Every structure is written in structure tokens, then in C-alpha cells.
Amino acid sequence: MAARLCCLRGLLRAVGPRPFSAQASPLQAEQRGTKRPEPSSAKTLLDIGTRRIFSSDHDIFRESARKFFQEEVLPFHAEWEKDGQVSRELWEKAGQQGLLGVAIAEKHGGIGADILSSAVVWEEQMYVNCTGPGFSLHSDIVMPYIANYGSEEQIKRFIPEMITGKRIGAIAMTEPGAGSDLQGIRTYAKKDGNDWILNGSKVFITNGWMSDVVIVVAVTNREARSPAHGISLFLVENGTKGFIKGRKLNKIGLKAQDTAELFFEDVRLPASALLGKENKGFYYLMAELPQERLLIADMALASCEFMFEETRNYVKQRKAFGKTVADLQTVQHKLAEMKTQICVGRAFLDNCLQLHADKRLDSPTASMAKYWASDLQSSIATQCVQLHGGWGYMWEYPIAKAFVDSRVQPIYGGTNEIMKELIARDIVSDK
């Protein structure tokens, strides 16, 4: 494992920012991807070696990630759907393969690659249509909070084992009465000497059932001039007295992804459980949410690419009226419309990914990406099921699973209605 991770670190360090010169050499041009084919002109939307934001080093990493998901995830996913969770063994295999915490700095025990390398992992998971593993939330939502705001002690305690997959992370924001409105949170932590006493409940928590450490969002100052000024984050470990995991929720989709209710009943936490500074939690959330929304958007677009290729292959084989369905002009036009929409979306998403790699992605733009891509995913899913006919409604067909899995995308990470509010607020603001 150590040798593999060292090899990956050497490879992925090479994909970091490169100096730009007015007269780029052929090698520099290739490395920046200026000679790479666009998805619209590639043989398929899943081809390796396309898209200008990536380099040949990213391609090598993508080949490794693709092999992992095809061999270690896809064959077992149907069984995990019945179990309502993936296996612990899978998490450790992902760690051994160097697929967890890819963008976490080397000094913290991570691979030290760029966010584009993380995107490779997000996309390859969607290209096998397997939504069970909560790797993206663990690696690119939970771990950055610890790496960016945690103490040296917290980083050393949690990050190395999260990188290896031996410790699974979750974040608990949503409550029965507070979803997209983070300022409506009721979970409360009060001081008791040097300790904190945590009470409340959370719902719809991805990785919740299997979690070993949970970042809990709680109110710590009920007298603050606004709810935003009185929220803090806490690291709560599995097994802590009073921390109770409720049932695994029975969802219409994401069947293999464990999603749970969490309860906190007089949970006593030491001062060292506070993540970052007291009453600064809301600001940490606002700083990290753009990456979460970009992640959702990119996985949504990757799902669109998968569904399109799955449907293209189906209609070219399915016979109707003495010829293939793909020979029907109405079907050809539908495929043309979908591919155009997906390629337009991909161009915008790749721009957002590059902006984020350059640390220039702002919240309104991330909100645009999340709203647009997840709405497109729902639309593409509906159209692809239609082109499959009755078979598209059968669970054993991949498109059926993609259809039900797509429905939650416009809801979590902030509903698309909230995304539009954030975009509109920026538009009409005088600032």
C-alpha cells in the first residue's frame, strides 16, 4: 500500500498548476490540454483523454480509478443495495488504491493532488452508475473541514485513518425541521465547565450509519444577534455515550448509500471536540459549501454522460417496426438534443472546475452549476427512460436505477429553489 500511495503522490503532484508562458512549448500545450479533443467530438462522452482541463497525468489516474470502480464496486453493488450500505472492506480497498482524500495536503497525510483529480474520482463513480460509496462526501466535504479548521491534534487523530478508509466521516447539518435553512438549526450545545453538552437530532445523513466520526452543526449561542453568529461545529465519534444512530432510511433511490437518523442525548464532549472557533461554524459552512455544490453538479453531469451512452447503446440494438429504434428520426433528434445539452453543461462545469482549481469559484457560480446540472440530470433521466420503453422501468436495467437516483440531486446540498435565491440575491445586490 505504501509503495502504491508513494507512486500516486508522485503522479498527482505532477498535475498541479504549471507556469504559463506566451510561447508555450508543444509539451506545455499538451500538459495544459489545449490539444485534447472535446467531448462533443469524441467517440463517446466517457472517453479518457478528452477535456482541456485535464492532463495526461489525470488520464493515468482516471484509468486506475475506472478499473477500481469496474472491478471492486460494480459487481457487488446490487448486493449492497439489498443491504442498504456498502462494505467496510470496500472503504479500505479505496484507501489502498489512493482514492480517498486525494486533494488533502501531503503534510496532513493526503495525496496532495489538485481538485481536478478529486473530480476524476467523482466522475468515475458515476460512470459505473454506482451511487452507494459515499467517498465524495467523506473525502471532499468532511475531510476539508478538518484539514482547514481543525487543530493539529484533530488533524493527526482523524485524517490519516480517513485517508486509509479505516475511519468513515459524515457531516450532520439537516434536521427534521431545518433543511436548506441552516439558520433554522435547533441542535444545541451548551458549556458545562470545560466540556460541552450536546442535544438534538439530525436526519438524512449520508454515511451516517457507518460513520466513525461526524461533524455536527449545533447552536452554541442562542443570544447571538443572528443565528449565523451562534453556530459551531463539533467532532463526535462513534461510541460516544448519548450518540445514537437511528434506522437506516428507506429511500426510493441511492439504495446502497447508507443514510441515517442521528440522535444526541446529553452527549458530553471535551473542549477538544470543538472544530475551529466557537460560534464561527456558519462562516465555515459558507466557505465550504461551494465545493459541495460543485461536487454535486459534476457528479450530476457525469451521470448525464453515463445515461446518454447507456441509452445510445440500447436504441442501436433494440428493434421496432423491422428496424432499430435508433433508425427512427424522432429518436435521432432526441439523442441530438440530449448530447447538445450535456456538452453545453459539460463546458460550463469544466469551467467551474478550473475556476475552483484556481481558487476563484464564488458561491453564486457554484449555485448555478448545482442547479443547472442537477435539473439537467433529472431531465436526461426522464428522457432516457422513455427511450428504453417498458424496459426502462425495470430495476435490473441501469437506466431505472439512474432515474431514481437522480431525483434527490435537486434537493440535497441546498434545494435548487435556494440555489436560485442565492443567484438572484447576487444579481440584485448593490454591493
As annotated, the active-site residues are: 292
Type and span of the H or E element at 93 = helix 88-96
Distance of alpha carbon 229 from alpha carbon 222, whole angstroms: 9
Measured CA to CA, the distance from residue 191 to residue 36 in angstroms comes to: 57
The Cα-based distances of 73 to 18, 98, 164 in angstroms read 34, 15, 17
Cell numbers at 223, concatenated? 443570544
321: left (phi over 0), alpha (psi -120 to 50) or beta: left
Q: How far apart are CA 31 and CA 49, in angstroms?
A: 11
DSSP labels, 163-181: HTTSS-EEEE--BTTBSS-
Q: How many residues are recorded in the chain?
A: 431
Euclidean distance between the first and the last CA atom of the chain, given in angstroms as a whole number: 51
Distance (Å, rounded) from C-alpha 178 to C-alpha 195? 26
What residues contact 329, with CB distance under 8 A and at least 6 apart? none
Q: Report the distance separating Cα 355 and Cα 275, nearest Å.
A: 28
Does an H or E element contain 216, and which? strand 213-219
The rounded distance, in Å, linking the Cα atoms of 208 and 303 is 24
CA–CA dist 209, 257 (Å, integer) = 10
Whether residue 85 contacts residue 132, with contact meaning beta carbons closer than 8 Å, is answered with yes
As a whole number of angstroms, the distance between CA 392 and CA 145 comes to 40
Of 331, 314, 325, 334, residue with least CA distance to 394: 314
Q: CA–CA separation, 261 vs 258, rounded Å?
A: 10
Query: Which residues are registered as beta bridge partners of 245?
Result: 262
CB–CB of 348/366 below 8 Å? Answer: no
